[in-house]
């Protein structure tokens, strides 16, 4: 079996760079994608220690996604990790909503992962493992929503979960497993300093889930500790 190849979006900081650290440390080949490689100092430090190739990628830009697919060429991608995401910069309370910002959140968190999956599905299908893991959120859960608010972010991650289930159905015949993951509340720029988990702790759990997420587990929403998360 050849070396496992992993592709991570939003790889320059937070959970994304922790995924790069994890898989590069495990001896995998990693395609680390970020909007501005020239400013990705944490990623550069990680990249020096392993088989890491850095690519520019803005998941809201179709040309950028096509350029990435062209750069990957015919190399198989065992694990595609759609990690890039935004919480939204504008207000998301009822009666106080920034609609332009909401649209950007949907383009980034829903359409972005879908476009990346569409552009790279052939590469994933050509690999040994054939996994697409999408970083969702507990805030996607309809069943677990007890506080309201966060309209843009919640709706984007709930929509991403539907994309995951759809992709799982559509890509099953090509042997590709597609899952959604809740990373927990993680100390990053998005999660803030008061969060519960380090990015490395979250990624240690999520990578175990991804390793076990074969076709029989496709179309599911997993907590980083391995149990199913309620839709
Ligand atoms: N932290 C948490 O507690 C938590 C909880 C639940 C879910 N999540 C999810 O986990 C994922 C990673 O979050 P994080 O906490 O690591 O957040 P983060 O520290 O804010 O990092 C977000 C990453 O996404 C990238 N990104 C944003 N827009 C992009 C675009 N258009 N194209 C390409 N990359 C883009 C950012 O790149 P730039 O540096 O260029 O902005 C950055 O690398 C997200 O999907 C998030 O929703 C996080």
Chain position carrying tokens 């990790």: 81
pTM above 0.95, yes or no: yes
60 Cβ below 6 A of ligand 1: yes
From the alpha carbon of 189, which atom of ligand 1 is closest? 19
Supply the residue whose CA is at minimum distance from atom 5 of ligand 1: 185
Residue spans of the domains in the chain: they are 5-223
User: What is the reported pLDDT for 1?
Assistant: 61
User: What is the reported pLDDT for 70?
Assistant: 98
35 Cβ below 6 A of ligand 1: yes
CATH superfamily of 5-223: NAD(P)-binding Rossmann-like Domain (3.40.50.720)
From the alpha carbon of 82, which atom of ligand 1 is closest? 45
User: What is the reported pLDDT for 202?
Assistant: 98
User: What is the reported pLDDT for 2?
Assistant: 82
38 Cβ below 6 A of ligand 1: no
| Mean pLDDT, 10 residues at a time, the chain of 231 residues | 92 97 96 96 86 97 98 98 97 94 98 98 98 98 96 98 98 98 98 98 98 98 98 97
User: What is the reported pLDDT for 48?
Assistant: 79
78 Cβ below 6 A of ligand 1: no
Q: Which ranges constitute the DSSP H helices of the chain?
A: 14-25, 41-47, 62-72, 99-106, 112-125, 151-171, 199-212
The Cα 143–Cα 156 span in angstroms is 16
The Cα 228–Cα 80 span in angstroms is 20
């Amino acid at each position: 079996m050849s070396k496992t190849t992993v592709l991570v979006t939003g790889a320059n900081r937070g959970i994304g760079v922790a995924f790069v650290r994890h898989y590069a440390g495990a001896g995998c080949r990693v395609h680390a994608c970020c909007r501005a490689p020239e400013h990705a100092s944490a990623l550069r430090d990680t990249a020096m220690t392993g088989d890491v190739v850095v690519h520019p990628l803005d998941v809201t830009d179709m040309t950028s996604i096509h350029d990435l697919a062209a750069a990957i060429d015919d190399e198989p991608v065992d694990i595609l990790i759609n990690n890039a995401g935004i919480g939204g910069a504008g207000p998301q309370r009822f009666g106080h909503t920034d609609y332009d910002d909401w649209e950007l959140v949907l383009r980034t968190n829903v359409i972005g992962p879908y476009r990346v999956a569409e552009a790279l599905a052939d590469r994933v299908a050509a690999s040994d493992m054939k996994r697409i893991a999408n970083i969702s959120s507990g805030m996607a859960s309809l069943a677990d929503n007890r506080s309201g608010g966060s309209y843009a972010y919640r709706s984007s991650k709930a929509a991403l979960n539907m994309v995951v289930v759809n992709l799982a159905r559509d890509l099953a015949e090509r042997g590709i497993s597609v899952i959604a993951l809740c990373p927990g509340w993680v100390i990053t720029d998005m999660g803030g300093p008061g969060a519960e988990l380090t990015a490395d702790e979250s990624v240690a759990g999520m990578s175990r889930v991804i390793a076990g997420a074969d076709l029989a587990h496709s179309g599911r929403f997993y907590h980083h500790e391995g149990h199913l998360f309620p839709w």
